[in-house]
Amino acid sequence: MSRSSAPAPAAIEARGWGWRHASRLRPAVEKLDLRIHPGERVLLLGPSGAGKSTLLHALAGVHGGDDEGEEYGELMVDGVAPSAARGRAGLVLQDPDSQVILARVGDDVAFGCENLGVPRDEIWPRVRRALADVGLELPLEHPSSALSGGQKQRLALAGAIAMRPGLLLLDEPTANLDPDGVREVRDAVGRVLERTRATLVVVEHRVDVWVDLVERVVVLGRDGRLIADGTPGVVLVEQRRELLDAGVWVPGVPLPGAVAFDVTGQATAATESGSAGRSAIEHALTARGLAIGRRANAVVQRGLELDVAAGASTVITGPNGVGKSTLALTAGGLLRPLEGRVEASAALASGLKREPIAWRSRELLTRIGTVFQEPEHQFVASTVEGELAVGLRALRLDDVAIAARVHELLERLRLDHLARANPFTLSGGEKRRLSVAAVLATRPSVLILDEPTFGQDRSTWIELTALLRELVDDGLALVSVTHDAAFIARLGDERIVLAASTAREFA
């Protein structure tokens, strides 16, 4: 093994460290004292907005200078400031889309190595190895834009691994993956660590996946201060109460309402309908013989049928890359079907043409609201409260009514303390909640959500699913694309399982 393939694992030390983002009054992370030894494997937990990503970014040395924020105390990687330890840390960002840089898969994985000045003849073997490690064995020329969300996550991981970092920093690396993908990525990380002995800090809300691979759990509380640090056994068992109070997921603790679920999704991966007992309901949207795809010559699925009922919640599940988001966009009237048609009920169309694809965006507002997989693609305002008001202004509601609805949503989705913040500066989980709140504002009859619970801690998850359940019981037709087994257990009244076999043309 060449020297470069086994870099020395990195040591981390924080002494009274903190960081305040420039546009915020309070520090995101405060008074952190932490020592992580070379080769240690740490799971970093904490509620949404606790400062987990902020800490990872600091360790990777990607926080900017004084104009981006204020730093307190000291943070060191191998005894020096992270910015001086270039190439020591490999960071996989929370939003996989934001780090796909180059047009072809191979070039994208090679990018970090090239930046570090790795000799050219060493780069390509590293790239192939990294792609195999993450289970993404595509041709090097494969277009990176054609990857699904989950595939992009594996691509980003491959890029970090190829740099052979002494410190691997992973920010929710499995959040959008199907259950097979989750295991693949976890196992890939395990294999890489076996070989390199690199230090690991991984952030993930759902603990189960990583608990066997890590030896230490570090928890940040809502105010960005350390609230627990120790072995998984001690922290997750003995400090269970503190963790639950802070909103953190703790394995084995049932959700209120006691819905049993299996994190692998196995217990809930059936196609049965759970809506027994509901009265016969009107279908808000129907489709027959539907073929979907983002381009005319690239059919992802064909022969689909869709019956979206008012007063029921439908979940769309299936492996990464199978066309779930494409189906969501098509059902939402944002993408033209390649064959067949999506038809709205007469009541939903209320005077308009029956096909949602023919509606203008203002006509969609009260009829069908769609939240994309990547929330940032939808933000248009400069503040959180402004974002929530955009649709309401388009509907010409008066200021009092707008203020009331905005206020209600801010509270329900725990965004009230962020009312004046810029949407683009929110944490991953906060962005997700804002994007859901923004479509809820105009009270559409049909709501289509792509990965609605992405990045949510236990408390915000419970609040979000309770709100959705209430709206459905009030008559909303809800359609959600999800990999979240707990969500399926709670909101899977109807289930559409897209199969991989029909998606070959896409992969």
Those residues with Cβ within 8 angstroms of residue 503's Cβ, 6 or more apart along the chain or in another chain: 300, 301, 321, 322, 323
53: contact with ligand ATP by CB under 6 A: yes
Closer residue to Mg ion, CB minimum distance, 94 or 459: 94
Decide which of ligand ATP, Mg ion, none touches 382; Cβ closer than 5 to 8 Å per partner kind.
none
| CA-closest candidate to residue 382, choices 428, 418, 416 | 418
Q: Which of residues 339-378 bind ligand ATP (CB under 6 A)?
A: none
Binding mask of the shown chain, residues 281 to 320, with x at each position contacting Mg ion by CB under 5 A: ----------------------------------------
Q: Which of 428, 444, 452, 492 binds Mg ion (CB under 5 A)?
A: 428
320: contact with ligand ATP by CB under 6 A: no
> Phi/psi at 233 (nearest 5 deg)?
-60, -45
- Reported in sequence order, the residue ranges of 48-88 that DSSP labels E, i.e. its strands, are 69-77
Strand order in the sheet with 29-36: 29-36, 12-21, 69-77
What's the closest the beta carbon of residue 48 comes to Mg ion, in angstroms? 7
Decide which of Mg ion, ligand ATP, none touches 308; Cβ closer than 5 to 8 Å per partner kind.
none
Helix (H, G, I), strand (E, B) or coil at 448: strand
Between CA 465 and CA 255 the distance in angstroms is 11
Q: Which of residues 22-61 bind Mg ion (CB under 5 A)?
A: 53
176: contact with Mg ion by CB under 5 A: no
Residue 135 CB coordination number (10 Å)? 17
Residue positions counted in the chain = 507
Between CA 493 and CA 351 the distance in angstroms is 29
| CA-closest candidate to residue 478, choices 325, 378, 331 | 331
Size of the site for ligand ATP (CB under 6 A): 20
- Cβ atoms of 30 and 19 closer than 8 Å: no
Pick the stretch among 52-60, 251-259, 308-316, 330-338 that binds ligand ATP (CB under 6 A).
52-60
- Cβ atoms of 351 and 340 closer than 8 Å: no
382: contact with ligand ATP by CB under 6 A: no
For β-strands 226-230 and 216-220, DSSP reports them as: antiparallel
Q: Which of residues 407-446 bind ligand ATP (CB under 6 A)?
A: 425-430
Closer residue to Mg ion, CB minimum distance, 29 or 127: 29
Between CA 135 and CA 450 the distance in angstroms is 24
23: contact with ligand ATP by CB under 6 A: yes
Decide which of ligand ATP, Mg ion, none touches 232; Cβ closer than 5 to 8 Å per partner kind.
none
232: contact with ligand ATP by CB under 6 A: no
222: contact with ligand ATP by CB under 6 A: no
Give the CA-trace dihedral at 285, 290, 296, 299, to 10 degrees.
130
Those residues with Cβ within 8 angstroms of residue 321's Cβ, 6 or more apart along the chain or in another chain: 147, 148, 150, 151, 500, 503, 506, 507
Size of the site for Mg ion (CB under 5 A): 4
Closer residue to ligand ATP, CB minimum distance, 311 or 429: 429
Give the relative orientation of helices 384-394 and 428-440 as an angle to the nearest 10 degrees. 20
Binding mask of the shown chain, residues 160 to 199, with x at each position contacting ligand ATP by CB under 6 A: ----------------------------------------
Closer residue to ligand ATP, CB minimum distance, 249 or 261: 249
Decide which of ligand ATP, Mg ion, none touches 50; Cβ closer than 5 to 8 Å per partner kind.
ligand ATP
Closer residue to ligand ATP, CB minimum distance, 21 or 154: 21
What's the closest the beta carbon of residue 95 comes to ligand ATP, in angstroms? 10
Decide which of Mg ion, ligand ATP, none touches 28; Cβ closer than 5 to 8 Å per partner kind.
ligand ATP
Decide which of Mg ion, ligand ATP, none touches 106; Cβ closer than 5 to 8 Å per partner kind.
none
Nearest residue relative to ligand ATP (C-beta): 429
User: Can you say how many angstroms the Cα of residue 252 is from the centroid of all Cα atoms in its chain?
Assistant: 22
Between CA 381 and CA 422 the distance in angstroms is 8
Q: Which of residues 82-111 bind ligand ATP (CB under 6 A)?
A: 94
Decide which of ligand ATP, Mg ion, none touches 173; Cβ closer than 5 to 8 Å per partner kind.
none
Those residues with Cβ within 8 angstroms of residue 68's Cβ, 6 or more apart along the chain or in another chain: 21, 22
Between CA 320 and CA 149 the distance in angstroms is 7
Nearest residue relative to Mg ion (C-beta): 53
Decide which of Mg ion, ligand ATP, none touches 445; Cβ closer than 5 to 8 Å per partner kind.
none
Q: Which of 49, 96, 149, 150 binds ligand ATP (CB under 6 A)?
A: 49
54: contact with ligand ATP by CB under 6 A: yes
Q: Which of 30, 45, 48, 169 binds ligand ATP (CB under 6 A)?
A: 48
| CA-closest candidate to residue 110, choices 122, 98, 92 | 122
Between CA 97 and CA 472 the distance in angstroms is 31
What's the closest the beta carbon of residue 501 comes to ligand ATP, in angstroms? 35
Chain positions contacting ligand ATP, by CB under 6 A: 21, 23-24, 28, 46, 48-54, 94, 425-430, 455
Chain positions contacting Mg ion, by CB under 5 A: 53, 94, 427-428
